[in-house]
Chain A
Amino acid sequence: AQTNSSRRPKEERRVRANDREYNEKFQYASNCIMTSKYNIITFLPVNLFEQFQEVANTYFLFLLILQLIPQISSLSWFTTIVPLALVLSITAVKDATDDYFRHKSDNQVNNRQSQVLIRGSLQNEKWMNVRVGDIIKLENNQFVAADLLLLSSSEPHGLCYIETAELDGETNMKVRQSVSVTSELGDPNNLASFDGEVVCEPPNNKLDRFCGTLYWRDKKYTLTNQNMLLRGCVLRNTEACYGLVIFAGPDTKLMQNSGRTKFKRTSIDRLMNTLVLWIFGFLVCMGVILAVGNAVWEREVGSLFQSYLPWDPPVDNFLFSAFLSFWSYVIILNTVVPISLYVSVEVIRLGHSYFINWDQQMFCSQCNTAAEARTTTLNEELGQVEYIFSDKTGTLTQNIMSFNKCSINGQTYGEVTDPLGPQPKRLDFTPFNPLADPDFCFYDDTLLESVKVGDLHTHEFFRLLSLCHTVMSEEKSEGELVYKAQSPDEGALVTAARNFGFVFRSRTPGTITTIEMGRPVTYTLLAILDFNNIRKRMSVIVRNPEGKIRLYCKGADTVLLERLHPCNHELMNITSDHLNEYAADGLRTLALAYRDLSEDEWEAWSASHRCADKATDCREDRLAAAYEQIEQDMMLLGATAIEDKLQEGVPETIAVLSLANIKIWVLTGDKQETAVNIGYSCKMLTDDMTEVFIISGHTVQSVRQELRSEHVNGTGGGEGKQLQCPPPPPPPPPPPPSNLMDNISGEFALIINGHSLAHALEADMETEFVSTACACKAVICCRVTPLQKAQVVELIKKHKKAVTLAIGDGANDVSMIKSAHIGVGISGQEGIQAVLASDYSFSQFRFLQRLLLVHGRWSYLRMCRFLCYFFYKNFAFTMVHFWFGFFCGFSAQTVYDQYFITLYNIVYTSLPVLAMGIFDQDVPDQRSLEYPKLYEPGQLNLLFNKKEFFICIAQGIYTSVVLFFVPYAVLSDATQSNGVPLADYQTFAVTTATALVIVVSVQITLDTGFWTVINHVFVWGSLGSYFTIMFALHSQTLFRIFPNQFHFVGSAQSTLLQPVVWLTIALATAICIVPVLAFRFLKLDLKPQLSDTVRYTQLVRQKKRKPGRLGARGGSRRSGYAFAHQEGFGELITSGKNMRLSSLALATFASRHSSSWIDTLRRKKHTHAHTPPTGAETAVKITYY
């Protein structure tokens, strides 16, 4: 084995149970995990090394090294090292805190207790001490400590149930089963002697795959993922189980999946990087110009001046001098790209993130969740979003279904009679039915009356609802029933029946027990004719206590109404009208019917059914044919209407967002009908749309043709292809195909199916698809896989160069959330996977409008204003050196005192602009929501782009010219009032620096639009700190201590006491600011932006324009039938595999697979494109459990 392992260490892993010595030979990783990056000793070197991998930091380090060369050093080393040290230490502190918390959680996880079987007895061990090859015992609701091979469990057949929410985000339970030979081992005594050896694949990150072999007692057993319990799962509904540790610690699939998440950058970031590169180019140009100047000067003037100022020793000619001068100028001009830029940007973003976290109006009190900015670096991009990709279930809808209306025997119930009248009273079922669910809401008491008087149709209606389903019930205590429904629609229907006196109580594989009007009745369940997407219906065949056999069927009206007995014709018409009404209200409908079967009919069908069931080939087709055969000549009972409850404020949010010119695409795994229904109810689709295109072709050609025809011809979209979709809207003005303009001016919507999308996304068709889709007002993609969701997002990113936002709540949205520029997770019921992958999370879709229109808009505005000002102030500051170069022999002499250069960016001018970047508001938040058009400048990238950048730079350069030449002109001949000339270097430096600080302060007061206390404190404080620090640095005290460091002693006082100096500063300020003021005023006066106007009139209450449309009811959509669940559960129930006697197990029906049918289920899932995310797509973030 030794040679084996050393020869093929990567290809396989051998683990022998209960044999630590053997396993230690392979040096497998222990179960101790370490996600922290540093310890106390390595922190400094490792962290510094990481930080210097940032280009900016390395650049400044390079500058620092340059400054240490005396011939080049035009500035003291501390002008660079102080800001650099500040930046490095801020980052280091942040990293250290992060790592501290990682250490803490590592410790917490590593010290969890688990029971390990050591020498035949169970001992408590810390998780970190668990070794590969140990057998550990898990109890109910415990986290799995490592990747285990399930050996045995307390449940029959070695089954156990796990929840994998932490791992892949799926909240439903999954079943795992041990290999049959080990499941018999049972108790610890037997397990202690278990010495099987597992040979399996090396550690990898595939969550849904495992392959290995167990060798035990000279036999081979194949191991699959079905036998594995992965770290991160939670054991549910299983008293205890034993497992053999195969992968531990860092080798576990959870940890293998915890890769670094892709770092997202905003477009401003990218623009900023480009601009910084340009500035570097500019810097080099200036350096070259000045170096050439230096060469000329040294040749023409400097060489003659050598008697007074000889060249430094290594310099022997003017060219070498010019070369050194180039580097010297690179040093002093580097402040055009200040190191503090990146830090300030991060600080501002962090501030914005906190504002998002703190926003009360994005707090959901029901779920006690506040909005959270999980990524702090994307805020301003929220102000530029053009496309939103939204999931449907759980995002637009609450995923709560409520029984809303029904039609029984031609009579409709549940209609709220008078919408203007008093709020109808909610029915109280408890006096009538002690088993009623108190949360059930229904308002129409005529239905209850009808039940009470014993109307036969009504009774049969609810009996059907209580029998024809695949719901499991759990009775926690007497009378307290909990239903576990596979789809929320079914749950709603069974709950409705329960409240109206037909209580589904419990089921066994062969029986269903109900309580009908207080009387227990047990039906024999003869067959479940399960649901699938083609059949769009399900039936049960039951024998009632009287011995009569009846088939109950519920399904989509389109399929069910075709299969009725002809005598139902009249009822069918009435019910059909009702169904149309329900559908128009956006409800999900089902039609219900029954059929009495004679004993002979049943026997005959039963035989053919058995035959079909046993068939090995085409089993499904045969079964479908058998089902088809018996679901005929049924009697119509009525129809139900279920409301797929939208989340609060969804239509309003969508309306506001589309007014803000944001295009919303719904990408859902749901069926087309459901998706279209939701599209209507959230007002994405409206009846006054010119055309709703539906693309559902199965082949490349058909999809292409559909796309083309719709692209070219507005009406030609093809009624032929519309399955159950809207008949053309009432009067479609049929535009001739040639009249393209007409088509474009209309409003279109596109609905595309998953299988068509697959073709549309192919390389040769994608441009066509994008152009068609983008011409449409609404796009709905249904039946899409998680991968396709991501592909659609990538497509738009690629072709539209627009900022995209993806919002979703489930694990199937993770890929989309990760590939969009911004991912938003709804923290709902569907686990935390989406939230973990997201950049922002909150609990209600409607918060999106606040996130984008208020926070995003502000962030963008603030960031743009910040950047403009920042580049301006640094150019104004730095370019003065350039002009001075022409007067000081291009010697790289600075204009200012070196301390001023050090502190300018980090003290004198940093806080006011930070305050503006964090707090500025142009219009209040209510106005942003009121006028969604205010969002447009962000989408068009108007506030900070290359043009704006050049304007800032130009303004900065202009300011620097004024700041240099005005003091130059004034001071060159001026004297103090005691006759001493003012043109000495130090006076000049102090005058220019003071003028600069004042000019940029005045400029920030002009730029700041929202003066909070903090802005005042920062602006005045910065000015104050400038004078204070300057007087301190020029004081005698400091000079006496360090005479060589503080040359400027007395300059501040001597300079600032001179009226001429103040007159100079005032003059320079006026010359700098007056043109800006005039320009801004003209812009505001002649071409005011919307925000300016809103700001101006914000006190004038603007009557909000309401979209005064009535909920148009066209009756044009139909068949959003309430059957959104997967098939397979009928089989599950009848197979009895999931039937357990303990009440514990009744709760766990969720997905109790046994190996015989799990494959069927999976196969079906695949065929219906319900593929769950595979391990490869699902990168799991580390979470501690």
Chain B
Amino acid sequence: MMASSYNAKDEDGHITVSGPGGGTLRSKKPENTAFKQQRLPAWQPILTAGTVLPAFFIIGLIFIPIGIGLYVTSNNIKEFEVTLYDMSGPHQNPFRNCNNVFMYYGLSNFYQNHRRYVKSRDDSQLNGDLESLMKPSKECEPYAYHENKPIAPCGAIANSMFNDTLELFYNDPNGTKIQIPMTATGIAWWTDKHVKFRNPTDNANLTAVFQGTTKPVNWRRPVYELDTDPQNNGFINEDFIVWMRTAALPTFRKLYRIIPKKNSMVPTLLRGNYTLEVVYNYPVRSFEGRKRMILSTISWMGGKNPFLGIAYITVGSVCFFLGVVLLIIHHKYGNRNNSADIAN
């Protein structure tokens, strides 16, 4: 986008060649290297109409199609959101496709990004360090010890873990409610599940491992009873891991369950009415929070995200428009960079 001119500078005529005739007196003449004489070959870009205006048009021409593509993709994604205040009523299913459907829970006004909240964890403990299990880090205070027993997992994040249960039922037209099978694994980062979080030992008997610790104050069950599946229990319980990955903003959603696709012919969720059953454990009213449940499908670019497409289209159009405006300005008032302008 810029004019390039590699400029091998011509040697100045008046550089005297220092011959060896200097005799015994060592010449203090500085070395004649391109570096020391500041004559390194260099690319000297200049912003000219020939480079800048095409750049604007190119940006415009690239951004607009990308934006349209993103927008269309995003529009094709079906998303369904329900606020978890009133648990009533069957809902119409908007989903038609045959892919996985993702179920999220969302919280609003929940400050997972608060500094004191973010730091209130002990990654060493979560990584299965036995010493940290019994002596949680000071960062976890005031959720490090309870009744003189170390808390596992310690800290405010773990303590405030989301513990509602959401279940989805298909309202069969014949009146029966069929529970939709959902998987609780595969919802966390691979590195979190396999590297960052580890149970203290590989011992299957987690109850013994967590002997001497106590559960977080707000929890109903200890950490080793989160799931029956040993690969999803203790610190490596994926619901727990998902919660521990703190959100950047006070309104956030977290992946809760995946409704796996059946096969490529049958829609994952059949057309009809569904009932969402919530076991309401998690209080949010106290801090004026809000709970949501979101069902969404996914494309190559993730979930529904209309902003990106619109932003790309806007920026692309603005660039194109700027290009046109600058072109007009350049033609009407532009300085032709006439060398005659150089006044001495």
A682 interfacial by beta-carbon distance below 8 Å: no
Name the segment of A269-277, A375-383, A715-723, A1045-1053 touching the other chain. A1045-1053
Name the B residues within 8 Å of A360 (CB-CB).
Answer: 15, 29-30, 32, 36-37
A611 interfacial by beta-carbon distance below 8 Å: no
Pairwise interchain contact A893-B59, C-beta atoms closer than 8 A: no
B67 → A minimal CB distance (Å): 9
> 3 nearest interchain CB pairs?
A1050-B191, A988-B248, A891-B115
- A1054 CB contact (under 8 Å) in B12, B38, B142, B191: B191
A/B interface sample: 12 pairs, CB < 8 A:
A302-B111, A310-B156, A887-B250, A924-B9, A931-B344, A981-B255, A1039-B195, A1044-B137, A1049-B195, A1074-B56, A1093-B342, A1096-B339
CB contact under 8 A between A985 and B122, given known A309-B111, A1050-B192, A1050-B196: no
- B302 CB contact (under 8 Å) in A358, A1060, A1082, A1090: A1060
Pairwise interchain contact B15-A973, C-beta atoms closer than 8 A: no
Complex-state Cα separation, A1070 to B111, whole angstroms: 31
Complex-state Cα separation, A304 to B333, whole angstroms: 61
Name the B residues within 8 Å of A1082 (CB-CB).
Answer: 326, 329
B87 interfacial by beta-carbon distance below 8 Å: no
B215 interfacial by beta-carbon distance below 8 Å: no
Within 905-952 of A, Cβ neighbours of B (below 8 Å) are at 919, 921, 924-926, 931-933
B159 → A minimal CB distance (Å): 7
B100 interfacial by beta-carbon distance below 8 Å: yes
Name the A residues within 8 Å of B137 (CB-CB).
Answer: 1044
- B301 CB contact (under 8 Å) in A357, A919, A981, A1059: A1059
A875 → B minimal CB distance (Å): 22
Complex-state Cα separation, A1015 to B63, whole angstroms: 29
**Chain B interface residues toward A at CB < 8 A:** 5, 9, 12, 14-16, 18, 25, 27-32, 36-38, 40-49, 52, 55-56, 59, 63, 66, 70, 100, 102, 104, 109-118, 120, 122-124, 126-127, 129, 137-138, 141-142, 156, 159-160, 186-192, 195-196, 245-255, 258, 283, 286-288, 296, 298-305, 307-308, 311-312, 315, 318-319, 322, 326, 329-330, 333-335, 337, 339, 341-344
A316 interfacial by beta-carbon distance below 8 Å: no
Pairwise interchain contact A301-B111, C-beta atoms closer than 8 A: yes
Pairwise interchain contact A887-B335, C-beta atoms closer than 8 A: no
CB contact under 8 A between A308 and B255, given known A970-B305, A1053-B191: no
- B113 CB contact (under 8 Å) in A985, A1050, A1070: A985
- B118 CB contact (under 8 Å) in A893, A982, A1064: A893
Pairwise interchain contact B55-A1077, C-beta atoms closer than 8 A: yes
CB contact under 8 A between A309 and B116, given known A368-B27, A970-B305, A1096-B48: yes
CB contact under 8 A between A309 and B156, given known A370-B28, A1049-B195: yes
Pairwise interchain contact A969-B311, C-beta atoms closer than 8 A: yes
CB contact under 8 A between A1012 and B41, given known A305-B287, A1060-B305: yes
Pairwise interchain contact B334-A1085, C-beta atoms closer than 8 A: yes
Within 1064-1119 of A, Cβ neighbours of B (below 8 Å) are at 1064, 1067, 1070-1071, 1074, 1077-1078, 1080-1082, 1084-1088, 1090, 1092-1097, 1099-1100, 1102, 1105
Complex-state Cα separation, A455 to B341, whole angstroms: 63
Pairwise interchain contact B49-A1011, C-beta atoms closer than 8 A: no
16 new A-B contacts, CB < 8 A, other than A304-B288, A979-B102, A1074-B315, are A302-B111, A312-B141, A359-B36, A361-B14, A889-B111, A893-B114, A921-B44, A932-B344, A975-B296, A1013-B41, A1047-B123, A1049-B191, A1050-B196, A1060-B302, A1063-B70, A1077-B56
Name the A residues within 8 Å of B30 (CB-CB).
Answer: 357-360, 363, 370
Contact with B along A278-310 (1 / 0, CB 8 A): 000000000000000000000001101101111
Name the residue on A nearest B336 (C-beta).
A1085
Complex-state Cα separation, A1078 to B48, whole angstroms: 11
A836 → B minimal CB distance (Å): 18
Complex-state Cα separation, A1099 to B29, whole angstroms: 30
Name the residue on B nearest A918 (C-beta).
B38
Complex-state Cα separation, A893 to B344, whole angstroms: 56
CB contact under 8 A between A979 and B337, given known A365-B29, A1095-B46: no
Name the residue on A nearest B310 (C-beta).
A969
Pairwise interchain contact A888-B29, C-beta atoms closer than 8 A: no
Complex-state Cα separation, A1074 to B15, whole angstroms: 44
- A980 CB contact (under 8 Å) in B122, B188, B287: B188
Chain A, interface size category, equals 35 or more
Name the A residues within 8 Å of B335 (CB-CB).
Answer: 1085-1088
B60 → A minimal CB distance (Å): 10
**Chain A interface residues toward B at CB < 8 A:** 70, 74, 301-302, 304-305, 307-310, 312-313, 328, 354-355, 357-361, 363, 365, 368-370, 659, 858, 887-889, 891-893, 919, 921, 924-926, 931-933, 966, 968-989, 1009-1015, 1036, 1039-1040, 1043-1044, 1047, 1049-1050, 1053-1054, 1058-1060, 1063-1064, 1067, 1070-1071, 1074, 1077-1078, 1080-1082, 1084-1088, 1090, 1092-1097, 1099-1100, 1102, 1105
Complex-state Cα separation, A313 to B113, whole angstroms: 20
Complex-state Cα separation, A1146 to B260, whole angstroms: 113
Central interface residue in B63, B66, B186, B344, by most chain A CB within 10 Å: B344
Complex-state Cα separation, A1036 to B258, whole angstroms: 27
Complex-state Cα separation, A809 to B302, whole angstroms: 75
Pairwise interchain contact B342-A1090, C-beta atoms closer than 8 A: yes
Name the residue on B nearest A1034 (C-beta).
B191
Pairwise interchain contact B25-A1102, C-beta atoms closer than 8 A: no
Pairwise interchain contact B29-A1074, C-beta atoms closer than 8 A: no
Complex-state Cα separation, A1058 to B5, whole angstroms: 37
- A1085 CB contact (under 8 Å) in B246, B296, B330: B330
Central interface residue in B252, B302, B330, by most chain A CB within 10 Å: B302
A70 → B minimal CB distance (Å): 8
Pairwise interchain contact A355-B245, C-beta atoms closer than 8 A: no
Complex-state Cα separation, A1064 to B318, whole angstroms: 17
Pairwise interchain contact B44-A975, C-beta atoms closer than 8 A: no
Name the B residues within 8 Å of A977 (CB-CB).
Answer: 298-302
B205 → A minimal CB distance (Å): 24
Name the B residues within 8 Å of A970 (CB-CB).
Answer: 305, 307-308, 311
Pairwise interchain contact A1012-B29, C-beta atoms closer than 8 A: no
Complex-state Cα separation, A1088 to B305, whole angstroms: 43
Name the residue on B nearest A1036 (C-beta).
B195
CB contact under 8 A between A1081 and B326, given known A312-B116, A985-B247: yes
Name the B residues within 8 Å of A1074 (CB-CB).
Answer: 56, 59, 315, 318-319, 322
Name the residue on B nearest A325 (C-beta).
B115
Pairwise interchain contact A1050-B190, C-beta atoms closer than 8 A: yes
A992 → B minimal CB distance (Å): 9
Pairwise interchain contact A328-B115, C-beta atoms closer than 8 A: yes
Name the B residues within 8 Å of A924 (CB-CB).
Answer: 9
Pairwise interchain contact A972-B287, C-beta atoms closer than 8 A: no
Complex-state Cα separation, A1139 to B219, whole angstroms: 112
Name the residue on B nearest A884 (C-beta).
B113
CB contact under 8 A between A1096 and B46, given known A359-B37, A973-B307: yes
Name the residue on B nearest A70 (C-beta).
B138
Complex-state Cα separation, A1108 to B15, whole angstroms: 27
Name the A residues within 8 Å of B333 (CB-CB).
Answer: 1085-1086
Complex-state Cα separation, A131 to B309, whole angstroms: 88
B232 → A minimal CB distance (Å): 16
Pairwise interchain contact A304-B12, C-beta atoms closer than 8 A: no
B296 → A minimal CB distance (Å): 8
CB contact under 8 A between A919 and B319, given known A969-B311, A1060-B301, A1067-B312: no
Pairwise interchain contact B28-A887, C-beta atoms closer than 8 A: no
A887 → B minimal CB distance (Å): 6
Name the B residues within 8 Å of A892 (CB-CB).
Answer: 115
Complex-state Cα separation, A984 to B44, whole angstroms: 42
Pairwise interchain contact A313-B142, C-beta atoms closer than 8 A: yes
Name the A residues within 8 Å of B129 (CB-CB).
Answer: 1043
Pairwise interchain contact A1081-B343, C-beta atoms closer than 8 A: no
Name the residue on A nearest B3 (C-beta).
A1096
A598 → B minimal CB distance (Å): 59
